Amino acid sequence: MADILACKCCGGALPDQNLEILIRNRGETPVAIQSWFQLEEGGEALLWEAVCPVGGRSIGPGEVAALYAGLDPAVLSRYRVLVLFDRQGRAHRFRLDGGSEPTATRGECA
């Protein structure tokens, strides 16, 4: 699988990519997601910019797309909200429930 993703994703191998974020667009219009995200818990936020593919993803209605990142599981476990940003600057927030599939709390791309 790394060979396929390397060709479509980052132009090289995917070292240390242990986090896959699957995004389903449940809206009726395309959503263009940036290639970075933020993790939040209470007043604390962590911006994560090492996300593949560079340039983000455009996701049509009903489509599923993936973003990939390398993130220490201990760091991820400290946060309860994943925030994705679209190219219009809107935030799309998803609760993280102990490693289960994210649940949208706001945004059309959930």
Token digits of residue 10: 């980052």
User: How many domains does the chain fold into?
Assistant: 1
Residue 2 lies in a domain: no
Q: How would residue 19 be classed by pLDDT, with cut points 50, 70 and 90?
A: confident
Quote the domain boundaries for residue 66: 15-106
Q: How many CB atoms lie within 10 A of CB 67?
A: 21
Q: Taking Cα atoms as reference points, which of 88, 86, 12, 83 lies closest to residue 53?
A: 12
Residue 65 lies in a domain: yes
**What are the pLDDT digits (tens) for 78-99?**
999 999 999 999 999 999 874 4
Backbone angles phi, psi at 89, to 5 degrees: 85, 5
Residue 3 lies in a domain: no
pLDDT, mean over the chain: 79
pLDDT surpassing 80 at residue 61: yes
